[in-house]
Structure 1
Amino acid sequence: MRHDPPTPVEAPTPDPRSDRPDVLTGGAAVVPIESARAGRHPNGTPDRSNATTDGTAEVAAGDGTTAVLEGQVVFVDQPGHDLPDWRTDLEAKARTRQPIVPTWLRSRTEAVDTLRWVGWHYLHVSGYQLTRTPLYAGRMAVRAPRGFFRLVGGFIRWTFDLEGQPVRMATVQKADPEAYLKLSRQRDARVRLRVWVAGLTVLTLLILAVIVANQPTMVQWAALAAIVAVLGIIGKPADRPLIERAVVPSAVEKLTSDIVIRSLTVLGISGINSAMTKNPKDAIRFVAPITRDGPGWRADIDLPYGVTVADVMDKRDRMASALRRPLGCIWPEGDNTIHEGRLILWVGDKDLSKTVVKSPLVKAARHDVFKGIPFGSDPRGRAVTVPVIEHNVLMGSQPGQGKTASVRVLASGAALDPSVELWIHELKGTGDLDPHEQNCHRYVSGIEDEAIAYAADSLTLLRKEVMRRAAALKALPPDLCPDKKVTRQIADMRSLGLHPLVAIFDECQNLFAHPEYGDKAGDDAEFIIKLGRALGVVLILATQRPDKDSLPTGISANVSIRFCLRVAGQIENDMILGTSAYKNGIRATLFVPGPPKDGGDAGTGYLVGATSMPKVVKTAYLDTAATQKIADRAHALRSGAGMLTGHAAGQRPEQVTPTFDLLADILAVVPTAEAKVWNELVVDRLAELRPEIYGPWADLEGGAKTGQLTTALKPYGIKTMQVWGTPEGGGKGANRIGIARDDILNAVTHRDKKRATEAAS
């Protein structure tokens, strides 16, 4: 379509109402023509650097396509610049170059897996058909007589041109002698030639029969088998194939542009519907052909102006309905390196929840954590590796969604590197990580206060270790450590003590929310995350309760790699994946709760920070038996290299935080005769009993001292109340916040019974 340039708006005239003749009705100042020309750009574009005193151009009255700049009317859309610079154009085209080497050949693992799959596929097909050879031979023998009659009948019809008989009879019925004579002459000519051909063919067959009859028996049987096979193929029914399919293909509809547009228009997005109404042909643009990408189809789409990928991802279930595919097959994602409206729609052949990802660690003899740990695969079947060195990892999900199984994968990868010092704290008490106890420098499994205290000790020790490593790394010569960070070469120098140290805290909310150890543990963890990254110290934290009380914001804000499986809402989603992740379409709420056998997405989550773009990942599944085999192999590897230390070597752990039982201590300082007592009196007595623990409590003043004990008793379900009493040493009586001794005694009794039951089970 031709677009004529807009007509310039005439220059405004002086305002007669103004005392200044240089003021125009349009509000622009008149300047000398020499200065105006001097300010022009060589290519005709005015220099805006000296526009007006406030640095802006005045828009002239009119159609809005012109502006008054330095006293002259100019077009807003300047002519002569519609062709881009050739370098800019080349760079834009280079962004869409197709790879020379196919994607599956770029990764050795993916190439081996692909070739292995192809080999096994055709081996299966060959074996399937070979075992059914007798069946196929029987079918051909049964169908051979029918094939013989078909062959002879067809040969006779061809020789005597019987196919033309109906046409010749039609000319007789129409009494058309000229046409009949013409067809008869044509038939006679054909038959004369075909009789000679038929005779020579029969003679040749007779000669071949005589020759075969004089051959050995094996040749005769082979010739007979070939004849039967040919006749059997000729005699097969049209609706009953001879050979069965070894692999039944799944009925997956090919993805086309019409199907994609249909799926987008039913989502109820106003921006898409409005654009389709105004311009249905160009509202949704396909920037590349729809192609096969792994086990599925890929479509690259530019959404209408103002529509973002997040708008589409929010309605993934409706898209699955429109595409008539399971929800686990539909994986839209964005490419914000292009723009926020670039949609990459991938539709898989198979539901991701039904896919079992095998870990290469199961058969690996050893592993190098500096190369990352194989974690799982994306919906397209591409392997995903999580970098560990110089990173910290945070995992979160609802219970039962595969969080601990994901931790197992990282723990197994770290264990197979004998240079890694492994610390594991499983604060759920179910023993999910027990197979790796034999490889750990520090290990604890439990939910009781002693286990929490042990985990808090570990963070205190790690903080000291970070400080020691910082000094050791600083002392290294520049030629050995130019970037001031731990490398493989430095890690192998065991005497430096700068080897990788991976500390895992599963169910870390039980540590950070603990009334006694939580605050300090949170401070230590934040310090380690911020400074330990370049020093080879790696924290892997997993939680099923991602809130500000159970996961301090200083920790969630500083981890570099995040993996979020199914969570309930936006707050939990952003606590794990980062602020505004939900708003940007990275939503772990879209996963279906439950195990894969029930159609759930357990084990599938969003991985952020490990790759250039957030990615949906199905983690490799390691059950207890597979984990035990990996752990045994790692133990043998570490034992042979002399790398068993600490807990694995039978050494007693270093205890930093003194252990105590708050409830038992309260019963010790509150005699039976005192049924109820003020909180502040209890705190003072506790400080006398254990000053190293309760001394900071007693230093608090006023309500802070009372509130400290109230907060410490909340996890035990003990509530405070108004208690009448008098200060120790005498004084005026008053009502203050206090506790009942019987409540403490009942809590201890209930706890002891619960521990006894768990120990018995």
Structure 2
Amino acid sequence: MAIEIHPEDIPDAEVIDVEEVSRREQMMNAAKARAQQAGAALGEQRVRVFARISAWYATADVTDEDLAREIERKRRSQTKHGEVELGARVKGLKLQLRHADPEMSGALAFELAGAEAQLQALKETDADNYKISGRDLGRARWSKKAGRLALSLGGAYGYVNGVAVEPLLALASLGAAPFAWWYLSRPAETQQPKAGVAPFIPGQAVPVEGVGADGTPVPAPVWTPPGQFVPDTLSSLGRVSLVKPESARVQGEGDLVTALVKAGIISEAQRDQTHLAGVIQPSGPGWTATIELPRGMPASNAIGKLEELASAMRIKRSRIEIRPDNSADGHDGRLVLWVADQDNPYGSGKTDSELIAAERWDFWKDGIPLGPDARNNRHTLDLIWSSIMIGGLMGYGKSYLARLIAAAAALDPTVRIIVITGKTGPDWAPLKSVAHQWIAGASPDVIRKVLRVMDTTITEMQDRGTELDRLYEVSPEKVPEGKVTPELAADGMGPVLLVVDELQELLDGAALVQVAIDEEMTPEGGRPKTKNARDILVDSFARYVRVTRFVLGMGVFITQRPSSDSVPTKLRDVCAKRGSFRVKGQNSAKMVLGDDPVNQGAAPHLLGEDSKGVVVLELGDEAGHITIKADVIDLPAFKDICLRGRDLRLAAGTLTGDALEYGKVDQAAAATATLLADCIAALDANSVDRARTETLLGFLAAYKPSAYGELTGPQLQARLREAGAGGTRKLGACEGLANPNGYTRDQLTEAGK
């Protein structure tokens, strides 16, 4: 039998509310969850605080771009500060030199020259000096890290000492602690790429979306993660603002095509048939684009409208270069456009030629180092097997370009040099020490001498051809191409360089001379017929170029009046290479370079007054023409080069002709200068400013025994008289005598001037 027990039957029983128990359990679980969340949040705060502090010490808040700007700013500031200091130093030295005595002036002048050279080097500092490398960025970042650590340590040291002196400082810092904790522990903001904007990928160049109306490339928008540095492939464009205030800036390929339409290169109907082959890309100090023209339209159509295109793009014509695309993928309907980021991309400074420091040069192997183009690519001229015609207005650098060629030849002892200049002057005087023939002037006698030299030279070069024929019969392996080889050149068949300057003066002078033609004498034996020497001279120069090329005959012809009279077509056409500096018009440009190069974009007539040293070179090969800023060799450096070339020829036994005779005079002058200098040095060594002949002879024998040990008194007097010092003079009281004869230091110094 079952027994039922009810709660009410038990007086002390406690009633359990199940719902209340469940509610309390939920409250406890919620409290535990809140405690866990609070702990987790506190942990996250600690992580963020320590992460932010660590990031600050690691300089994670400083991007490479910020560091690069800071480094460049410091370098430019240092350069400017150096210019100011050197400028003040130069002014001070000039003032000292103006009031210095003769003994100190030499040292001051030397110091002044060095200071001026340093100042000029600072002023000509180019963009390459401000390029930032990865190592520069690394050093700058570590320097900033060290600075922050030092700042923290210094702050902690100051805080501890401050608390010791003023305890209220500790209470103040405790009050600021919560705010600092909140600031450091706040969640970091996340950044996501913007819609339609490509993310930046390290190692890739910044893409260029298009080109503005002013000719400046427009970078495509690129999203960069926080702290990520984008390599500035267009930094040079970014530093110099070329946007004209009145120019509307439009972007994209369409803008460039619009410029072609406005320039009249293509019509509006041909817009859709014109597009870029690839993208607009940075190229040196500028940008380049390859343009596909409509089918049937040659690139020469655009090349002939350079000025119109510059007007359409609202930039100066000097900033634009156009040429057909001669690359492997190119064709006659594709052109390459290059736009500089400056109105004068070649700059106004001068670059010294590397030939100045060269001890020796291989004219055959190394060619002639010329200089950089607008993209800062250096170029070399190979003149073997060819000749060059150089023309242009006065004062723009023709002689400097020709001097580069002559300097390279002078430093190669296998090269024979012949100089013919239509006027006297110092431009080519240094070559007297190495030139086989050196002729200056345009008088009738000089013109006749030039004709004789040309006949003799051509005959000698033809004799080389005869020798090549003989070698081909007996040893054909020595002349595999029927031309002179480097081995034959080293054995005596070296290059022959003919330098003809002031061609227009020579032709004008020759026009006044009549030359007898023996083969056309009358049967009665009367006077022979004559011919104008101008025609004969042109024929001689052209014939030299034609018949001596394969035996290493080369010519450099320089004229400053590009016209049909000063640049005979017969001579120009046989010169495979041509160079033109600034000229006044397209006709003059064609007179020097020829029609085809000008039609293909060579434009010396578009060079401005600030284009000194800039030359357009037609190379006579697939490369077409180039425009460069020629390096510089001044006359003192040219003289040093020629003297080195003379020593090389003396050692090689190749010094011939006029250079040998010139050397004898030069050696006598050098010996005279040495004698006077030795006499002055001997007096100074004995602390006297005058001496009798016998005493001076003793000083010299002690100073240089090998040179003056056997010299007698009468011989010394004769040599000093030849040196311009004159005879002995009364010295006044000297060497214990009342008024003996002898020489004074001032007398010897005056003779040496």
1:388 aligned residue: 383
Is the 2:307–2:317 Cα contact (8 Å) retained in structure 1?
Answer: yes
Letter in 1 for 2:355: L
Instruction: Give the Cα separation in 2 of the matches to 1:150 and 1:263.
Output: 63
Is the 1:330–1:348 Cα contact (8 Å) retained in structure 2?
Answer: yes
Is the 1:563–1:576 Cα contact (8 Å) retained in structure 2?
Answer: yes
- 1:46-77 Cα shifts (integer Å, max 9, x gaps): xxxxxxxxxxxxxxxxxxxxxxxxxxxxxxxx
Instruction: Give the Cα separation in 2 of the matches to 1:248 and 1:577.
Output: 33
Instruction: Give the Cα separation in 2 of the matches to 1:554 and 1:150.
Output: 92
Q: Which region of structure 1 is more displaced relative to structure 2, 317-326 or 613-622? A: 317-326
1:481 aligned residue: 479
1:644 aligned residue: 655
Instruction: Give the Cα separation in 2 of the matches to 1:266 and 1:519.
Output: 49
> What pairs up with 1:627-666 in 2 under 5 angstroms?
627-650=638-661
1:417 aligned residue: 412
Instruction: Give the Cα separation in 1 of the matches to 2:176 and 2:549.
Output: 81
Q: CA deviation at 1:444?
A: 2.7
Q: Structure 1 residues 623, 322: CA separation in 2 closer, same or farther (over 3 Å shift)?
A: farther
- 1:562 maps onto 2:593 in alignment: no
Is the 2:432–2:662 Cα contact (8 Å) retained in structure 1?
Answer: no
2:293 aligned residue: 303
> What pairs up with 1:37-116 in 2 under 5 angstroms?
none
1:548 aligned residue: 564
> What pairs up with 1:240-251 in 2 under 5 angstroms?
250-251=239-240
SS of residue in 1 equivalent to 2:574: coil
Q: Structure 1 residues 275, 632: CA separation in 2 closer, same or farther (over 3 Å shift)?
A: same
1:613 aligned residue: 624
- 1:346 maps onto 2:357 in alignment: no
Q: Structure 1 residues 130, 549: CA separation in 2 closer, same or farther (over 3 Å shift)?
A: same
Q: CA deviation at 1:377?
A: 2.6
- 1:290-332 Cα shifts (integer Å, max 9, x gaps): 2233333221111234544333334434544555655443222
Q: CA deviation at 1:428?
A: 3.3
Q: CA deviation at 1:503?
A: 0.6
Is the 2:351–2:632 Cα contact (8 Å) retained in structure 1?
Answer: yes
Instruction: Give the Cα separation in 2 of the matches to 1:321 and 1:150.
Output: 64
Is the 1:529–1:539 Cα contact (8 Å) retained in structure 2?
Answer: yes
Q: Structure 1 residues 362, 352: CA separation in 2 closer, same or farther (over 3 Å shift)?
A: farther
Correspondence for 1:365 among 359, 363, 368 = 359
Is the 2:422–2:442 Cα contact (8 Å) retained in structure 1?
Answer: yes
Q: Structure 1 residues 267, 157: CA separation in 2 closer, same or farther (over 3 Å shift)?
A: same
SS of residue in 1 equivalent to 2:430: helix
Instruction: For structure 2, list consecutive stretches of 5 or more residues without a partner in the other structure.
Output: 1-126, 160-172, 190-234, 244-250, 514-532, 665-753
1:226 aligned residue: none
Q: Structure 1 residues 583, 363: CA separation in 2 closer, same or farther (over 3 Å shift)?
A: same
Q: Structure 1 residues 611, 292: CA separation in 2 closer, same or farther (over 3 Å shift)?
A: same
Correspondence for 2:373 among 367, 373, 378 = 378
- 1:470-503 Cα shifts (integer Å, max 9, x gaps): 2122111312112111111011112xxx211001
Q: Structure 1 residues 627, 614: CA separation in 2 closer, same or farther (over 3 Å shift)?
A: same
Q: Which region of structure 1 is more displaced relative to structure 2, 260-269 or 457-466? A: 260-269
Is the 1:430–1:446 Cα contact (8 Å) retained in structure 2?
Answer: no
Q: CA deviation at 1:139?
A: 12
1:500 aligned residue: 495
Correspondence for 2:541 among 525, 532, 547 = 525
Is the 1:423–1:502 Cα contact (8 Å) retained in structure 2?
Answer: yes
Q: Structure 1 residues 607, 256: CA separation in 2 closer, same or farther (over 3 Å shift)?
A: farther
Letter in 1 for 2:574: N
SS of residue in 1 equivalent to 2:562: coil
Matched positions, count: 443
SS of residue in 1 equivalent to 2:544: helix
TM (norm. structure 1) is: 0.51
SS of residue in 1 equivalent to 2:436: strand
Percent identity over the alignment is: 26
Letter in 2 for 1:420: V
Instruction: Give the Cα separation in 1 of the matches to 2:562 and 2:643.
Output: 33
Is the 1:509–1:544 Cα contact (8 Å) retained in structure 2?
Answer: yes
Instruction: Give the Cα separation in 2 of the matches to 1:647 and 1:572.
Output: 36
Correspondence for 1:257 among 246, 250, 253 = 253
Is the 1:607–1:617 Cα contact (8 Å) retained in structure 2?
Answer: no
1:464 aligned residue: 459
Q: CA deviation at 1:572?
A: 2.3
Is the 2:500–2:557 Cα contact (8 Å) retained in structure 1?
Answer: yes
Q: Structure 1 residues 151, 535: CA separation in 2 closer, same or farther (over 3 Å shift)?
A: farther
Q: CA deviation at 1:533?
A: 0.6
1:291 aligned residue: 281
Q: CA deviation at 1:525?
A: 1.3
Letter in 2 for 1:298: T
Instruction: Give the Cα separation in 2 of the matches to 1:434 and 1:507.
Output: 14
Is the 1:395–1:542 Cα contact (8 Å) retained in structure 2?
Answer: yes
1:444 aligned residue: 439
Q: Structure 1 residues 360, 159: CA separation in 2 closer, same or farther (over 3 Å shift)?
A: closer
Instruction: Give the Cα separation in 2 of the matches to 1:621 and 1:139.
Output: 51
Instruction: Give the Cα separation in 1 of the matches to 2:237 and 2:589.
Output: 41
Letter in 2 for 1:352: P
Letter in 2 for 1:444: I
Letter in 1 for 2:182: I
Is the 1:605–1:617 Cα contact (8 Å) retained in structure 2?
Answer: yes
1:716 aligned residue: none
Instruction: Give the Cα separation in 1 of the matches to 2:637 and 2:182.
Output: 70
Instruction: Give the Cα separation in 1 of the matches to 2:300 and 2:599.
Output: 7
Letter in 1 for 2:637: A
SS of residue in 1 equivalent to 2:598: coil
Is the 2:361–2:412 Cα contact (8 Å) retained in structure 1?
Answer: yes
Q: CA deviation at 1:407?
A: 0.6
Instruction: Give the Cα separation in 2 of the matches to 1:388 and 1:635.
Output: 22
Q: CA deviation at 1:506?
A: 0.9
- 1:633-674 Cα shifts (integer Å, max 9, x gaps): 322322322322112111799xxxxxxxxxxxxxxxxxxxxx
2:321 aligned residue: 331
Is the 1:397–1:403 Cα contact (8 Å) retained in structure 2?
Answer: yes
Instruction: Give the Cα separation in 1 of the matches to 2:641 and 2:141.
Output: 39
Instruction: For structure 1, list consecutive stretches of 5 or more residues without a partner in the other structure.
Output: 1-115, 164-245, 654-761
Q: CA deviation at 1:529?
A: 1.3
2:246 aligned residue: none
Q: CA deviation at 1:140?
A: 6.4
1:590 aligned residue: 606
Q: CA deviation at 1:394?
A: 0.9
Is the 2:264–2:308 Cα contact (8 Å) retained in structure 1?
Answer: no
Q: Structure 1 residues 328, 160: CA separation in 2 closer, same or farther (over 3 Å shift)?
A: closer
> What pairs up with 1:720-735 in 2 under 5 angstroms?
none
1:156 aligned residue: 182
Q: Which region of structure 1 is more displaced relative to structure 2, 399-408 or 333-342? A: 333-342
1:754 aligned residue: none
- 1:427 maps onto 2:388 in alignment: no
- 1:228-274 Cα shifts (integer Å, max 9, x gaps): xxxxxxxxxxxxxxxxxx999623679963553343233233x3433
Is the 1:566–1:602 Cα contact (8 Å) retained in structure 2?
Answer: no
Correspondence for 1:405 among 377, 385, 400 = 400
- 1:394-440 Cα shifts (integer Å, max 9, x gaps): 11112222111111111111111110001122223332122222111
- 1:154-212 Cα shifts (integer Å, max 9, x gaps): 42357699x9xxxxxxxxxxxxxxxxxxxxxxxxxxxxxxxxxxxxxxxxxxxxxxxxx
Tell me the C-alpha RMSD between the 2 structures.
4.3
Is the 1:390–1:533 Cα contact (8 Å) retained in structure 2?
Answer: yes
